[in-house]
């Protein structure tokens, strides 16, 4: 069974979540990960003093004394069954290091696969919002009829 380690802020800033307030973006990413991976994931965020180091659910870590990348590297180093781990990030240095250790890596698109979602929901937009944006762009580009 695969276990997914997610570079939290890297994934947020590589997706539509970057436009949301950070707390909402973290909550939505956690909900998506639960839906996609069940209990088989660890979501890692860079932390600051005063932020809890681990959530009640033990699926979210806010690092305190190191960056998320270093935490993920150390986690992978300690793991015996590295070929069961998939690290999700766009960070090239982290990806290269994890591959060197024998783990698989994926980009954030793995989390946001949309084959099961109706059109538009993969970006968090309703059909009405899509139409409104299209109409606004037509006006800007002088294409309105």
129 and 69: one domain?
Answer: no
If asked whether residues 52 and 85 sit together in one domain, one would say yes
**d(C-alpha 44, C-alpha 77), whole Å:** 16
Check whether residue 30 and residue 101 sit in a common domain: yes
Q: Do 108 and 125 belong to one domain?
A: no
Residues 24 and 52 in one domain: yes
Structural domain containing residue 134: 118-145
- Count how many domains the chain has: 2
pTM of the model: 0.73
pLDDT digits (tens, 9 = 90+) for 6-43: 999 999 999 999 999 999 999 999 999 998 898 899 99
| Residues 53, 84 within the same domain | yes
Among 112, 79, 78, 72, which Cα is nearest to 96's?
72
């Amino acid at each position: 069974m695969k276990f997914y380690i997610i570079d939290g802020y890297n994934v947020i800033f590589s997706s539509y979540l970057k436009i949301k307030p950070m707390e909402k973006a973290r909550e939505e990413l956690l909900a998506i990960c639960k839906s996609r991976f069940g209990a088989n994931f660890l979501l890692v965020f860079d932390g600051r003093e005063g932020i809890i180091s681990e959530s009640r659910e033990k699926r979210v870590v806010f690092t305190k004394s190191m960056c998320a990348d270093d935490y993920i590297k150390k986690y992978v180093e300690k793991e015996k069954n590295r070929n069961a781990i998939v690290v999700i990030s766009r960070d090239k240095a982290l990806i290269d290091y994890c591959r060197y250790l024998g783990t698989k890596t994926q980009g954030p698109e793995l989390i946001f696969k949309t084959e099961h979602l109706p059109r538009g929901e993969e970006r968090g937009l309703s059909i009405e919002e899509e139409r409104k944006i299209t109409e606004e762009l037509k006006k800007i580009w002088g294409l309105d009829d």
